[in-house]
């Protein structure tokens, strides 16, 4: 084998050559995320993500005319606790002002909220989450880009394919099926949420995709000041447990369950990278990675590669890289920089 083109090598769409990617996000940053959601996430070994309203930290929401009255927001210490457990946070604006108002201060809602959250947690805030409806999304986008965010979480059709737009990450709302719940409140909570989930999770429809779920409050009963309509955007702990259990059972070790920032940074690194076979001999082949146009703030440095090759082992700088054979293809994950060379050998 002397023709370098006989070996095909590529960067996989998702890290670890995952066949399905999953993230769970919570809008607002209310205290139930740490009290009710966190233990369930720990049980299933799936980190969560909180879209946080920076101007509400540690406060109770009491204003009339809102859909989430009498709820409490997490304070900086509680956010830092979740971050220490592998969770991440994004900005969900500073005041959550209704987006149908005129004269919204986007510098306050987008740029200052990032600074406030980073000051409160000591961690970078890489994503912005749209609030309200998408009425002013086109106005938010340039402000978020200038403020240094890496992407934005939106709302829409749930399946993010590998060529998704980092500035328009689709999220699907999980909520209790309100009509069914009111008609038959003693029935299974999970059965009543099936219609609220974005379609049945099946391998043939989820393969190769990234699903980002979104909910708001996770409690068995909402504060009395809120009308029943809020349930369409909230769920019970039982529903959350059923959802995470379903995701794990469907894809097993082919699942990459992680926070949105990990997926976005892998995507940014992948899109700035290329790999080519630069040497091919009778007993080895060399693959070289090139980086071009990578953002300075991307901290992720690991990529997953897949190669159609007779060789069964990979090394970098003389050190063995953990690799495996999957369906006759060599797959490995390793840190890269511009010019990294992987040597593929039989042993």
* 26-47 confidence digits (pLDDT tens): 999 999 999 999 999 999 999 9
Would the pLDDT of 57 be above 80? yes
Would the pLDDT of 190 be above 70? no
Q: Which of 63, 52, 167, 166 is nearest to 116 (CA)?
A: 52
More confident residue, 221 or 289: 289
Q: Does domain 272-345 have CATH number 2.60.40?
A: yes
Question: Same fold for the domain at 19-260 and the one at 272-345?
Answer: no
**Domain 19-260 class, CATH top level:** alpha beta
- The pLDDT tens digits of the residues spanning 140-165 come to 999 999 999 999 999 887 689 999 99
Query: How many percent of the chain have pLDDT more than 70?
Result: 84
Q: DSSP state, 110?
A: I
- The pLDDT tens digits of the residues spanning 200-242 come to 688 888 899 999 999 988 887 765 545 555 556 778 888 889 8
- CA–CA separation, 190 vs 182, rounded Å? 14
> Domain spans of the chain?
19-260, 272-345
Residue 116 CA to chain centroid, in angstroms? 22
Give residue 99's pLDDT band: very low, low, confident or very high (50, 70, 90): confident
| Residue 204 CB partners (closer than 8 Å, separation 6+) | none
8 Å CB contact between 75 and 50: no
Please report where in the chains the tokens 């023709």 appear, as a residue.
3
- The pLDDT tens digits of the residues spanning 252-272 come to 999 999 999 999 999 999 999
Would the pLDDT of 68 be above 80? no
48: helix, coil or strand? strand
């Amino acid at each position: 084998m002397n023709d370098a083109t006989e070996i095909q090598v590529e960067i996989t769409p998702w890290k670890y050559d995952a066949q399905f990617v999953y993230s769970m996000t919570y809008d607002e940053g209310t205290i139930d995320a740490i009290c009710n959601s966190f233990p369930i996430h720990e049980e299933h070994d799936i980190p969560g993500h909180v879209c946080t309203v920076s101007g509400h930290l540690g406060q109770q929401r009491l204003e009339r005319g809102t859909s989430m009255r009498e709820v409490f927001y997490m304070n900086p210490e509680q956010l830092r606790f979740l971050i220490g457990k592998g969770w991440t946070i994004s900005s969900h604006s500073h005041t959550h002002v209704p987006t149908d108002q005129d004269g919204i201060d986007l510098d306050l809602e987008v740029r200052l909220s990032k600074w406030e959250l980073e000051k409160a947690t000591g961690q970078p805030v890489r994503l912005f989450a749209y609030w309200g409806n998408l009425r002013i999304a086109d106005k938010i986008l340039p402000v978020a880009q200038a403020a240094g965010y890496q992407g934005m979480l939106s709302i829409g059709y749930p399946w993010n394919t590998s060529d998704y737009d980092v500035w328009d990450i689709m999220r699907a709302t999980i909520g209790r099926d309100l009509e069914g719940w009111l008609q038959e409140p003693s029935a299974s909570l999970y059965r009543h949420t099936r219609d609220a989930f974005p379609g049945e999770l099946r391998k043939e429809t989820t393969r190769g995709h990234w699903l980002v779920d979104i909910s708001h409050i996770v409690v068995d009963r909402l504060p009395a000041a809120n009308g029943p309509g809020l349930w369409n955007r909230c769920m019970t702990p039982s529903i959350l447990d059923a959802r995470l259990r379903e995701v794990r059972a469907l894809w097993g070790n082919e699942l990459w369950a992680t926070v949105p920032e990990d997926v976005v940074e892998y995507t940014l690194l992948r899109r700035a990278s290329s790999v080519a076979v630069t040497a091919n001999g009778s007993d080895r082949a060399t693959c070289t990675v090139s980086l071009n146009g990578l953002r300075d703030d991307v901290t992720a440095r690991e990529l997953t590669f897949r190669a159609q090759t007779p060789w069964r082992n990979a090394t970098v700088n003389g050190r063995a890289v953990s690799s495996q054979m999957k369906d006759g293809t060599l797959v490995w994950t390793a840190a890269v920089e511009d010019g990294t060379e992987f040597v593929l050998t039989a042993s």
